[in-house]
Amino acid sequence: MDFTLNEDQSEFKALLRQFVDKEIVPVAREWEQAGRYPTEIVRGMAEMGLFGITVPEEYGGLDLDPVSFALVFEEIARGWMGIAGILGSHSLACRLIAMHGTEDQKDRYLPGLATGERRTGIGLTEPDAGTDLQGIRTTARRDGDHYVVNGAKMWITNARYADPLPVLVKTDPTASPAHRGMSVLLIEADTPGFEVTKDIGKLGYKGTESCEIVLDDVRVDADQLVGGVEGRGMQQVLSALEWGRVNIAARSVGIAQRAYDEALAYSHERRAFGQVIADFQAIQLKIGELGTQVQAARLMAYYAADAVRGGRADGVTGMAKIFCSEVALQAAIDSMKVHGGYGYSTEFEVERLYRDSILMSIGEGTNDVLRTVVAKSLLKGETTVG
């Protein structure tokens, strides 16, 4: 058993770390507090080819292996989790198109998406449907050579830049079970009736926008149906979201790593009672626990990433997302405790890490729902322990 990165992965991680330390870390706190969109960082990621990490090489992408994919999100989230969100939704949508799109759809969109010339996201969540995707109400009625789409989407990352946006719809609202009547349409940004109505204010996860979208009699060419066959939308989305759980697990590791780094550095700087606080056993216990949990989460994330090489691995990716996200939140809290009162200040990184970490237990399926997914996988023998 080899728990180390190979040479290519190690070099790739070093390149990512250099980019994050130079381009993201110095500006993250200031730009986040100012509500400034990270245009220059996005441009830098495009120059590195990171918008093509899930695009096949034949379309100009990097087509990264899943562990290298995880490294991207770990390192970027270490600098600023919101930036990882810009890349995350884009990468999942690219993977969906690459896996399930028609040849025409791949040829038309993937080359531009790989370079970042085009950007995208994924339109799933609605005001009354989050984790329960079968409960969506957005419909697409066939009308000759078009679909007429009506509905609304919420919390859509990259909504103001997505072109096209894959949107989950019900092409047959009467189907039972509901997933048999669900499809994905690629909707271009300038389509009449497609409107991004507002940005949603958030506790954390800033740097990228999360928007509400209204679809009012949006006429979409029938050839924009992903895969060209109705009723396969749920399977298409779930296959992409499996990598999404790896994405969230890796982002969580990045947050936890930064929380540890900040706590460790501060423990050597802060003095109390005539000595640095790193000399106090209470602080040492916090640092020891932090380091242990971060490394355990990292191994779990990489294990889950490796597991998806062979296809669906719902149980393992669910375990990783649950564990890593909860480590991220606890790491942020413990780092805040090491910082004392300064941890509560917006002049230090820790409060942002805390705000960002909370989303990790919610995004890509809440942890409680994922526990049921893991349990079902274990009960069916699809995932084993030991």
* Cα four-point dihedral sign 182, 215, 186, 91: negative
**Pairing state between β 146-157 and 139-143:** antiparallel
Strand (E) or helix (H) holding 183 = strand 182-187
DSSP designation for 200: P
Q: Burial level of 295, CB count in 10 A (0-12/13-18/19+)? A: middle
In 3-state terms, what secondary structure has residue 384?
coil
Q: Which residues contact 242 (CB under 8 A, 6 or more apart)?
A: 308, 312, 313, 314, 317
Q: Which of 32, 75, 326, 364 is catalytic?
A: 364
Residue 11 annotated among the catalytic residues of the structure = no
Work out the number of other CB atoms within 10 angstroms of the CB of residue 246. 29
Q: Burial level of 229, CB count in 10 A (0-12/13-18/19+)? A: exposed
Strand (E) or helix (H) holding 375 = helix 367-379
Query: DSSP states of 337-361 as a string?
Result: HHHGGGGGSTTSSHHHHHHHHHHHT
Active site residues: 364
